[in-house]
Structure formats: C-alpha cells, structure tokens
C-alpha cells in the first residue's frame, strides 16, 4: 500500500517491478495498478518520479469529488505541486458484472454507454482471483463457459466495441482536471472503520441509497491507515519496518542494499489489513513479514557491531503512540516491551532463524461476526444451485459460508492485547475455561496499566526493571502491592532471566492467586513437528487445551523450522495451556485460525504484612537442527 511506506520506497517498489516486467516481457510499463486502489493525493509526485504516466482508481473516488456519473467515461488529469498524472476511473458496475452476471449483461451495459456519446472509454481493473479462485468462479468461468462466451461476444461486437490498453488512451485529450480525495473502494473504506461503527455506516449508506441513490456517493467510510489503529499487531510490524528503514540511512548506500531489499519485501500489503479475506488474520503472512524484518535487522547489526558480544537497551516511541517502548537486544534476541501496557513483551524474536515467537493476534469483535451463526457449510453450499434464474452468481461479498460447524462457539473476545509477561491476579472462581473464554475476573490493576522503567547496561549484560505499585483486592478489601519484574539479557545468548518480586506494602495479610501469561505464535496448531514437550515425556499439539498441576517447566518445539522455546520457573505451579483461536472471513467462508498458544503458570500466594514473594523464570531459545 504505497501511502503506508516512505516516499523513496514507493519509487523503488515501482521501479523494481517495472524492471522485472521490462526484462521478462521486453516492455516498459507506462501505468501502475495501485494496490487495493488506495489513493492519497501525495502519491502523484512519487508515481511520476518512477516514470509512470497513469494510474486507475475506483469511480467512487471521482463521484465523491463531484464528477457526475455520465462524465466518467475517459481519463482525467490530476497534479500535485505542479507534477501531473493521468487517472482513469474503474467502473464499479463492470466490477460487479464481470464475471458474476451473464456476459450478455456486460455487453448490454457497454452498449448503453456507447449510445450516449462518441469515443467513450469504460475501464475494468480488478482482482484476477475472481476468475477461478473465489468460491464458485472456477465452475462458472471455465466449466460453464462464461469466459469463452464473453470473448465471443467481444469479437461479435467489435464494429462498435474496441479493446485497447489504457496507455493508448494517453493520446486522447483528458476529460478535465480533478483533485481526488483520499479513498479506496467502497468496501475497503467500510472495513477500515472500527467494527462497531461498520454496522452504523452500513445502515446509514443503505438509508441514503433508499432515499436518493445519487446522494450515496457522498457517504464515504474510513481511511485505509486506520487499520494500524484498529490492529496494533499490524501497526507494530509496520513501525518496526519503518524504524529499520530509517536506520539504513545511517550507512552508505552500498552497505545496506541487502537490508533495504528485505525491508521492501516486508512492505507487502496482505498482512497489514483485513476485510473479506484472511489478510492480517493469517499467521503465515505476518510471519513472512517478520522474517524479512528480522533478517534486515540482523544485517544491520552486523554493520554496527564487529562481533556478537554486545547487548543494548533503548527507550523509544517507535510506534508513535505517545508512550516509549523499551528495546532489549543482543545478537540473538530482540525484545520490545510496553511499560504502559502492563510491562508486557510485545515482541520476542529469535534472530538466528528470523522467527517472531510472539507472532500472535488478539481476539476482537468483527462486524461480520453477527453472521457466523447464519453461515452455511461450504460443502452444503457447493451442492446447491449456483445460479439464479437469470444466470447470475453471488459475489464474494454476498456469500455467507463456513468451513466448519459450531464456529459461533469460538467467538470469544479479549479485553487486553495478547502478548507475554502479562501479570494476572485471578478471582477465586477463575478456571482454564473461563480464562480461555475471556470471562474470568481480575482482582488486580496490573494487567494492562503502566509500570515504571529503569535500565542498566554494562559490557556483556543488561537489566530492565519494570515496577508498579498497585492494588490487589482480597476478601473485598484493597491491598497495596509492589510488583517488580527484572529481565536480564547477556551478550550473545538466547537466554532470558526474569525475576519477579511481589511485596505486600500493607499491614494485613494477603492471600491471592497470581499468574503470568505468555503467548507464543508458532503457526501450526496440530502438527507432528509442532509440539508441547512436558517433563513426564508426553507431548501435545499447540492447540491443546488443559490444566496441569505441580509443573516447573514446559517446552514448545518447532522441529520444522528447527528451534525450541523452553520456559522454566522455580516453584511448582498450576499450568494452563489454551489455544488462542479467532474466527475470520476468507474467500471460502468463515474459518477458525490458530493464532497462538497461551501458557499460564499460576500460584496461590500468601503474603504476610510487609512480606515478599519471589519467583525466577528462565526462557531459552535453542536450535534443534545443525546450522
């Protein structure tokens, strides 16, 4: 998505693809397809600087700028700071006709346009997936002959219907000058809104359309960049990429070519947003971005440090949310902690294999979740007639399918971000089930509130201290409690030590139930290569749900990528293991997606007045394959 990346990278991305096209097809492109048709006026200069003469955006962009529908059959000129660019409107009507309606309807539509004036240009630009990948389209387009019939009709009508490339239209005079607002296609503008507001927007637009369909063109939705505020996980990846991109400027160009190329790859849009399709909800897409980012970080580390004998801490508001995050790094691990969100670990990455161990996703309400209970199983829908009486087929936006039964029972939502090192004081009636469902109660104010930060860095090691003096309720009474967690990272080790201390600051005894939550996003929920390894020799898949007693250690092994995460703690603990699973939309309907494994050791703690309780964790990441 070009507006979401630096200006110089916009130019680099366009030139990189155009160079490939030129080499492959011996042709230099003159135009550009804007990813997801996300338009911002500031793109003009960068697109033109990449030697591009035209682009195309949805006709809704033009309509909202006040251009009448009957004046959209051609191209317009826009400019920014005196730099011009030709812009074509993409016909929404054609996008919905092709290939979902019989081909004759498309010809009739084009005939109607031609009848209203000479030299009119109707442009169709859309996803190739609708020709065989989207539900039912392979059957329709190929087996039922939609595509063959469409081509035959184009040939039969070539006396009045001409096919040409958009670049050929550059020889024609533009229809006028236009300044387009920030926009994408209508559905994208809706998806970028908060879930609860999408329903309100949908109702408003339908209400306006029912009263005067022409007025609806002025009812716009949100703004693409709001996906970064809707989904902090997306924002984190984007801002990590941007942070490293800025770091590249500290070196000579020739030194950072590898890192810059990896960061360009980490700008691939799919995992940064979510609408009808999986997108951000697909862990392997997020993992692919993290892999490039971590490989780029490792490349830049090699420029900054002569060897692996280093460790550093840094406080920096890298995601521009108004609060400093803390980076704790060495040659093997990168940790990003958020003191203002419970002192939690937002990122835990293992750089030798470029794996983000924290690649999870918080369970959130989506506007389409109201339809989950109405969804029809995919195989049932496939057994039913696909066409209406007039030969039309439902668009992907109209289908309500499910890939398995009972998905409504998985609609649980989190009230905090599912990261690691999250401090819980549980209510007495909490269970693994209520924790999994998000219906349990907290008796402390530590989970997602602010912690004080202190760091010490010496040659060979660094310590990060996070402290909070807060309240824990017990037997209906508030108790003043100091909680400190100290993280120690040594140079050139993938081994983290975490020391916890709870101190009862009050004058009365405190009995409480304390737990620390870790979330590991390791891609595969049920695979022989992705297993929990327990001290009794048993193993379970990562989507295992259960509770164990008197545990002091757990290992999560990914033998496919070749590493294991071992978590030890000093005192025997109860241990919950619950999968973090979401329900989201995909091309084939609603689906369950494994996002992470939540591991929660917990203890019943009794503190005398002014008494203290301590606990040490050891977290180790080790390779399980030879390099």
What residue ranges define each of the domains in the chain, with the CATH number in brackets? 2-184 (3.20.110.20), 231-304 (no CATH), 315-627 (2.70.98.10)
Whether the CB-CB separation of 431 and 491 falls below 8 Å is answered with: no
On the 0-12 / 13-18 / 19+ scale of CB atoms within 10 A, 86 is buried
Nearest partner of 241 among 305, 315, 302, 297, judged by Cα: 297
CA 208 from chain center: how many Å? 32
Annotated catalytic residue 70: no
Catalytic residue among 127, 129, 152, 168: 127
Per-run averaged pLDDT (10 residues), the chain, 627 residues: 97 97 95 95 97 96 94 97 97 95 97 94 91 89 97 97 94 95 91 93 90 87 95 98 96 90 97 90 97 98 92 96 97 98 98 98 95 73 54 59 92 97 97 97 97 96 98 96 98 97 97 98 96 97 97 97 98 98 88 97 98 98 86
Instruction: Indicate the pairing of strand 510-520 with strand 539-541.
Output: unpaired
pLDDT at 626: 74
Q: How many CB atoms lie within 10 A of CB 353?
A: 17
Nearest partner of 49 among 76, 22, 13, judged by Cα: 13
Catalytic residue among 36, 261, 445, 547: 36
* The pTM of the whole model exceeds 0.75: yes
Q: Is 271 helix (H, G, I), strand (E, B) or coil?
A: helix
Report d(CA 452, CA 36) in Å as an integer. Answer: 42
Give me 505's structure tokens: 């600051």
Report d(CA 386, CA 143) in Å as an integer. Answer: 13
pLDDT at 625: 82
Q: How many CB atoms lie within 10 A of CB 206?
A: 12
Whether the CB-CB separation of 495 and 619 falls below 8 Å is answered with: yes
Q: Is 334 helix (H, G, I), strand (E, B) or coil?
A: strand
User: Hey, CA dihedral for 337, 341, 344, 345, is it positive or negative?
Assistant: negative
Angle at 483 between CA 482 and CA 487, to 5 degrees: 145
pLDDT at 395: 55
Annotated catalytic residue 287: no
Q: How is residue 281 annotated by DSSP? A: G
């Amino acid at each position: 998505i070009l507006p979401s990346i630096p200006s110089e990278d916009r130019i680099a991305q366009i030139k990189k693809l155009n160079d490939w096209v030129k080499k492959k097809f011996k042709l230099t492109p003159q135009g550009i397809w804007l990813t997801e048709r996300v338009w911002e006026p500031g793109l003009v200069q960068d697109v033109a600087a990449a030697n591009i003469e035209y682009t195309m955006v949805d006709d809704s962009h033009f309509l909202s700028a006040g251009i009448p529908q009957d004046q959209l059959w051609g191209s317009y000129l826009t400019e920014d700071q005196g730099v011009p660019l030709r812009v074509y409107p993409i016909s929404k009507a054609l996008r919905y006709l092709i290939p979902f309606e019989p081909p004759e309807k498309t010809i009739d539509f084009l005939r109607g346009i031609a009848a209203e004036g000479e030299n009119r240009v109707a442009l169709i630009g859309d996803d190739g997936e609708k020709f065989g990948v989207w539900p039912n389209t392979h059957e329709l387009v190929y087996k039922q002959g939609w595509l063959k019939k469409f081509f035959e009709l184009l040939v039969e009508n070539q006396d009045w219907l001409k096919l040409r490339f958009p670049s050929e239209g550059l020889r024609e005079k533009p229809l006028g000058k236009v300044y387009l607002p920030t926009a994408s296609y209508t559905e994208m503008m809706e998806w970028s809104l908060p879930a609860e507001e999408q329903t309100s927007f949908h109702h408003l637009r339908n209400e306006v359309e029912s009263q005067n369909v022409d007025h609806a063109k002025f009812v716009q939705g949100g703004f693409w960049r709001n996906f970064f505020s809707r989904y902090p996980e997306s924002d984190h990846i984007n801002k990590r990429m941007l942070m490293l991109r800025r770091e590249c400027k500290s070196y000579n160009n020739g030194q950072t070519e590898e890192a810059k190329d990896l960061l360009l790859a980490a700008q691939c849009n799919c995992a940064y947003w979510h609408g009808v399709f999986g997108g951000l909800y697909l862990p392997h897409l997020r993992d692919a971005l993290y892999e490039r980012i971590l490989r780029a970080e490792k490349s830049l580390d090699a420029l900054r440090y002569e060897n692996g004998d280093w460790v550093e801490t840094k406080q920096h508001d890298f995601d521009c949310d108004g609060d400093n995050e803390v980076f704790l790094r060495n040659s093997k691990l990168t940790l990003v902690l958020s003191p203002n969100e419970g002192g939690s670990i937002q990122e835990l990455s293992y750089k030798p294999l470029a794996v983000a161990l924290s690649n999870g996703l918080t369970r959130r309400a989506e506007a389409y979740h109201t339809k989950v209970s109405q969804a029809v199983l995919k195989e049932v829908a496939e057994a039913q007639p696909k066409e209406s009486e007039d030969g039309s087929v439902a668009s992907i936006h109209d289908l309500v399918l499910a890939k398995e039964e009972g998905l409504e029972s998985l609609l649980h939502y989190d009230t905090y971000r599912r990261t690691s090192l999250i401090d819980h004081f549980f209510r007495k009636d909490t269970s693994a089930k209520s924790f999994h469902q998000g219906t349990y109660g907290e008796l402390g104010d530590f989970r997602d509130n602010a912690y004080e930060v202190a760091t010490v860095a010496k040659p060979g090691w660094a310590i990060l201290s996070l402290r909070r003096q807060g309240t824990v309720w017990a037997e209906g009474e508030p108790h003043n409690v100091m909680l400190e967690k100290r993280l120690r990272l040594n140079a050139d080790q993938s081994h983290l030590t975490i020391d916890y201390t709870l101190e009862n600051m009050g004058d009365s005894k405190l009995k409480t139930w304390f737990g620390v939550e870790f979330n590991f996003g390791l891609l595969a929920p049920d695979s022989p290569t992705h297993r929990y390894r327990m001290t009794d020799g048993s193993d379970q898949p990562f989507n295992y749900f259960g509770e164990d007693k008197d545990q002091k250690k757990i290992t999560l092994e990914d033998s496919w990528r070749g590493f294991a995460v071992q978590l030890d703690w000093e005192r025997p603990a109860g241990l919950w293991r619950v999968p973090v699973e979401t329900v989201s939309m995909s091309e084939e309907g609603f689906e369950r997606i494994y996002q992470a494994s939540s591991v929660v050791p917990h203890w019943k703690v009794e503190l005398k007045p002014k008494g203290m309780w301590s606990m040490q964790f050891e977290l180790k990441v080790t390779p399980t394959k030879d390099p």
